[in-house]
Amino acid sequence: MDIFEQLKREHGLILDVMDAFDAYAQGLLAGSEDQHGLSPFIVFVSDYMDGLHHAAEEKILFRAMNEHGFAAEVGPISVMLREHDSGRSFTETLAAMEAANASWTGVSRARAAHAIAALSGLLRAHIAQEERMLYPLACQALPEHALRAINAEGERLVREQGPLRLELERLGLELCGRFTPKAASVA
Ligand SMILES: [Fe+2]
Ligand SMILES: [Fe+2]
């Protein structure tokens, strides 16, 4: 699988989990979910989305683009990097809320739901932008030998991540099965 197909496949799972996350947030507002349900989402977002997916983009794709004339400080890569950082900030906010000992009040539920909506909105826009603009741009601009090299690096990374990747994919599918079962069964 070439690296763009791999990254898009990961986007698919991230988007499905964001649907589940939005459903969890709705449950918080309706009083049918509590703070304990937040933890597996934080694990998925931190370890799969950031730890595997964003890491592959930053260490393989963006680095190759950077080496072929795309600055990291301005232009499309800088925008994508800033959005990765914003995703980390929302996740840290949610993780701190989850780690707090006190039971959530209505205000904390609303705050968490608001942060989840902000994170999922950010990621949906970010992923659309990467698939419509950044990946096609990289495909066009990188020379053949660089594309071959990033495909090989991507495959190596996926092999190295083996069991962890499988475990996190399973977690993502479980979350979809629990919160958006119809969508999970269609997919
Ligand atoms: Fe990204
Ligand atoms: Fe991405």
Q: Distances in Å between the alpha carbon of 51 and those of 19, 34, 35, 58, 92?
A: 20, 26, 23, 11, 14
Residue owning tokens 């970010």: 126
Residue 45 has pLDDT above 90, yes or no: yes
Residue 157 has pLDDT above 60, yes or no: yes
**Nearest bound ligand to the CA of residue 9:** 2
Domains identified in the chain and CATH numbers: 3-186 (1.20.120.520)
CA–centroid distance, 19 to ligand 1, in Å, is 18
CA–centroid distance, 5 to ligand 1, in Å, is 14
Could you tell me which of 97, 61, 101, 100 has the C-alpha nearest to residue 81?
Answer: 61
CA–centroid distance, 106 to ligand 1, in Å, is 33
**Nearest bound ligand to the CA of residue 79:** 1
- Other C-beta atoms closer than 10 Å to the C-beta of 88 total 16
Question: What mean pLDDT, rounded, does the chain reach?
Answer: 93
Q: Helix/strand/coil (H, E, C) string of 95-158?
A: HHHHHCCCCCCHHHHHHHHHHHHHHHHHHHHHHHHHHHHHHHHHHHHCCHHHHHHHHHHHHHHH
Q: What's the whole-number mean pLDDT along residues 78-100?
A: 94
CA–centroid distance, 7 to ligand 2, in Å, is 6
Give 130's Cβ-side CA count (13 Å radius).
26
pLDDT (tens digit per residue) in 26-36? 999 999 888 98
CA–centroid distance, 128 to ligand 2, in Å, is 9
Residue 181 has pLDDT above 80, yes or no: no
Q: Six-digit token pair at 12? A: 């698919």
Residue 169 has pLDDT above 80, yes or no: yes
Task: Provide the CA 66 distance to its chain's centre, in angstroms.
Answer: 22
Task: Please give the pLDDT value at position 72.
Answer: 80
- Of 168 and 98, the structure prediction assigns the larger pLDDT to 168
